[in-house]
Amino acid sequence: MKVAVFSAKKYDRDGFSQWADSSLHFIYIDSRLTADSTRLAAGCHAVCVFVNDELNAAVLQQLSELGIEMVALRCAGFNNVDLNAAKALGIRVARVPAYSPEAVAEHTIGMMLCLNRKLHKAYNRVRDDNFALDGLLGFNLFGKTVGLIGTGRIGLATARILQGFGCRLLCHDIVANPAITELGGRYVGLDELYAQSDIISLHCPLTPDTKYLINQHSINAMKDGVMLINTSRGALLDSKAVINGLKSRKIGYLGLDVYEQEADLFFENLSEQVIDDDVFKRLLTFPNVLITGHQAFFTREALQEISQVTSDNLLAFASNTTTGNELVN
């Protein structure tokens, strides 16, 4: 079975090469999957895609006309896929529901610590032989209240680490996770979470109900100087409202591993180009903002899990069986 792997990087090639055999033949394509690049999948039976590939109804229709019968997501989120269109076209869709949730959780905590203790600033100062501590004052995580929005595998992994720091955990999710309450976490409404949390961390999927969950109204309900972390999906935040929150000092610290318009930015070296995204560039001007390029998932263990589960999903399709990871079957 031929599989077109879009948005392919060296680490994707390295990961999937171990699974390539007579059953699976991977064709690596550097570009993102869009309406303009679907033709590159001609002759393949399936496409393998990542978080910024486009799989709207128009793209899926084009893929179907090329004979594509399966979309293999090498990620957990599926907000970029029109599942109804896929079902109508008879295209099977499968994902990797969990790949080292600890990887994302640890990156989340790393962002909290870096922002709080200003490690990025201290590193640059010391390299310039500046050992002054002025401007580097932080706070103890111990005893602070952390609000977790989303308590699935990643939210739970984050909660476990924070519990070890001695934090008080307030949580919100449409489905309560018993493991959270066993850790001492308490489920509350969003209003209470916003009002009481010193730190708020997002671990929920992007859906029509959660788009712009963090907006001007929710920011106004938060504590002054709140720390806000997003390692989930960029469009959970209204970036312009967040900028207003930073300017008003309502948001004291902001850590982003994702960005709403990241598709044209992240995973590429743009150091020799002019970036014309004014919102993104404005975010970078704030001294209390830390942005990483969607790397929270990026560990050896996670990449191994992604390549293995994605390959299992493809092999199951080829053998007309299921793995339980199917979104459209």
Its pTM stands at 0.92
What pLDDT does residue 22 have?
75
pLDDT at 20 over 90: no
Q: Which helix (H) or strand (E) holds 253?
A: strand 251-256
Q: Note if 95 is an active site residue.
A: no
Q: Note if 305 is an active site residue.
A: no
pLDDT digits (tens, 9 = 90+) for 155-186: 999 999 999 999 999 999 999 999 999 999 99
Annotated catalytic residue within 74, 172, 294, 305 = 294
Q: Can 2-99+300-328 and 101-291 be said to share one CATH topology?
A: yes
Annotated catalytic residue within 45, 54, 203, 262 = 262
Under 8 Å between Cβ of 171 and 163 = no
What are the residue ranges spanned by the domains of the chain?
A: 2-99+300-328, 101-291
Distances (CA, A) of 147 to 12, 80, 141, 173: 34, 27, 13, 11
pLDDT at 282 over 90: yes
Query: What is the β-pairing status of strands 199-202 and 186-187?
Result: unpaired
CATH of domain 2-99+300-328: 3.40.50.720
Annotated catalytic residue within 95, 107, 233, 260 = 233
Task: For domain 101-291, give the fold.
Answer: Rossmann fold (3.40.50)
Q: Note if 262 is an active site residue.
A: yes
* DSSP one-letter string for 155-189: HHHHHHHHHHHT-EEEEE-SS--HHHHHTT-EE--
pLDDT digits (tens, 9 = 90+) for 101-124: 999 999 999 999 999 999 999 999
